[in-house]
Amino acid sequence: MYHDKWEKVVTDIAAGMGYEVVDLDFCQSGLVRIFIDVLGFEREINVGDCEQLTKQLIYQLPVEGLSFDRLEVSSPGVDRKLTKIGHFERFLGCKVKVCLKEPLKGQRNFEGVLERDEFDTDTINRKSSSGNSFSIRVERSDLDMTLSFCVEDLSSARLVGETSVKRRKYE
């Protein structure tokens, strides 16, 4: 209930400023982390965006009866969580890690490229009536399969952050 109130208040404030709340994280130390993106995704989040929303929340949250010791607003980062159907649709074709609520073949964690589920006959299907089905192609030395799932089947999902470091050649 308390988490729901936080989510509603923060989402309403953020949306009014042109941001989407991707995730909320509450630490036992009193730290509240809020991960945001720009509505419409037409640009990247920058420090100024985080600063603006932080200033607004610092004044508005106590008015709403929500207390915190520290508040941190940031972008979701390269390994961002996928928490909504729209996130899965936005990142089709990207590499993701998913964790199933129930184990499949003795495993819960899988990694592969996110695709819209095509209902192939050789796919392992984990479907619900919601129609929010996606799949990933799992290609490992011990496992080669297409895993179909609904967002409701997952305990978590996140992008696999891809970074590259270019080496400088010193002469």
pLDDT in tens, 147-165: 888 888 899 999 997 655 5
Domain boundaries of the chain, sorted by first residue = 2-74, 85-159
- For residues 38-55, give the mean pLDDT: 89
| Residue in 108, 111, 109 with CA at minimum distance from that of residue 94 | 111
Question: For 66-98, b where at least 16 C-beta lie within 10 A, e where not — what string?
Answer: eebeebebbbbeeebbbbeeebbeebeeeebbb
Is residue 52 predicted with pLDDT exceeding 70? yes
Q: Which of 27-31, 59-63, 164-168 has the highest mean pLDDT?
A: 59-63
Q: What is the pLDDT of residue 39?
A: 84
DSSP string for 82-123: --SHHHHHHTTTSEEEEEEEEEETTEEEEEEEEEE----TTS
Model pTM above 0.85: no
Reading the block at residue 167, the tokens are 């080496």
Q: What is the pLDDT of residue 116?
A: 87
Q: Do domains 2-74 and 85-159 have the same CATH topology?
A: no
Q: What is the pLDDT of residue 50?
A: 94
pLDDT in tens, 15-28: 999 999 999 999 88
pLDDT in tens, 74-133: 998 888 899 888 889 888 999 999 999 998 878 899 999 999 886 543 344 444 445 578
Q: Tell me which CATH code domain 2-74 carries.
A: 3.30.300.70
Q: Which CATH number fits domain 85-159: 3.30.70.270, 3.30.390.30, 3.20.20.70, 2.30.30.180?
A: 2.30.30.180
Residue 1: partners with Cβ closer than 8 Å, 6 or more residues away: none
